[in-house]
Chain A
Amino acid sequence: MAADKAEMDVLKKECDGLRTQIEAARKGVNDGNMSSAAGSATDVGRVQLKLRKSLKGHLAKIYSMHWASDSRSMVSASQDGKLLVWDTHTGNKLVAVPLKSAWVMSVAFAPSGNLVASGGLDNMCTVYNIKAASPKTLRELDAHTGYLSCCRFLSDTEIMTASGDTTCCLWDLETGKQKIIFTNHIGDCMSLALSPDENTFISGACDSLAKLWDLREGTCKQTFSGHTSDINAIQFFPNGNAFVTGSDDCSCKMYDLRSDQEVITYQDASLNAGVTSLTLSNSGRLIFAGYDDFNCHIWDSLKGEKVGVLSGHDNRVSCTGVPADGMGVCTGSWDSFLKLWN
């Protein structure tokens, strides 16, 4: 027993030493953060977006939404036990997918538009073909030992999942089996995002860390700290060299990959609600972050200032998304509504 403890102490000391060296290396390249670079950029001014549509149809809390690549269709998931596919230009519902388990936490649209996937407290990711005459279950991906918090398609044959069992996983949809398991977080994984070139992905977890992974090698390349509570949301900055996180510590942060550190924090003393979701406008200038305070607050990503708010939901904003063409922003809420703004 004493030998075990001695071994653990040695390892812990080694960890501490390595961490100190990494922090020193980061400090060594920190010659200015985003605020200093942003000084000369024009002010955004007040961003006032209008509510264009309220999509009514779900009967319980909405937990997740995802735009299709056509920037017109969108899928939403509610704990009323349904996935709804919407035509956002008309407001019509196109497809309703009944779920075996109502406890859904995440939904995703495949780039092809043929498939959607969802999962949650059933620990599974179920993939549906929505182009069939009636929605058909294609695969049930069952291997995680914790809830499914997030899923994202790479194509009709591969999907990524993040789970409360602390791992992320790449699945082969043709076999229904796991291809690669990404293990390194020590807390529930809450969110993942694919890089624009799909060679890497980032994950945010309840260990308050964000990690960058090599999608094909299965290795963790970089780890980013700074948040003091669960990271619930994570999105790449459009050029793939930075990413933004949202946390229960009520702040959002932008991290840069090549300098391996945080470059700006988005927080406000008056905002005491956790961040549940986030999305960026196409240029990356605006960050739309959904909070527990029923609002989606808009941040100027360069100057770190709050520049607007999307108010109208009667409960927590649980999900947000901007389509590929950048035409608008969608918010989904526990109040059972989805709202479209621009």
Chain B
Amino acid sequence: MPVINMDDLTDKDKALMAVNQLKTEIKLERWLTSKCCEEIKAYIQAGEEEDILFKGIAEDKNPFKEKGGCVIF
């Protein structure tokens, strides 16, 4: 695989690269943003109950809790 060093590309090479990239991107079939946002919201709401950072965690189940404290004999 040849190494493409950006410094070796001429301005024209870079401009051609930009044009070709845009020609590729223009073909994309785009979805409605409302539908996409609804899907994101649905995904979040489905996972919220199990999301510890969102819901919190019981002290005795917390793996990061500082150990130690007093032992009373």
Contacts and interface: CB of A to CB of B under 8 A. Distances in A.
Interface of A: 4, 7-8, 11-12, 14-15, 18-19, 21-22, 25-26, 28-34, 36-38, 41, 44, 47, 49, 52-53, 72, 88-90, 143, 145, 165-167, 178-181, 183-184, 186, 219-223, 237-239, 241-242, 254, 256, 258-261, 263, 281-286, 301-302, 322, 325-329, 340, 342
Nearest to A326: B52
Contacts of A179: 1
B12 A89 contact: no
Most buried by A among B17, B39, B44, B65: B44
Q: For chain B, give the interface size range.
A: 35 or more
A14 B19 contact: yes
B15 A15 contact: yes
B6 A302 contact: no
18 contacts: A15-B22, A29-B30, A34-B41, A36-B34, A36-B37, A52-B64, A166-B6, A180-B1, A220-B21, A238-B43, A238-B47, A283-B47, A285-B44, A285-B51, A326-B51, A327-B57, A329-B53, A342-B52
A239 B18 CA distance: 30
A241 B33 contact: no
B37 A256 contact: yes
A11 B12 contact: yes
Given A52-B62, A284-B47, A285-B54, A184 B21 contact: yes
B6 A165 contact: yes
A179 B53 CA distance: 38
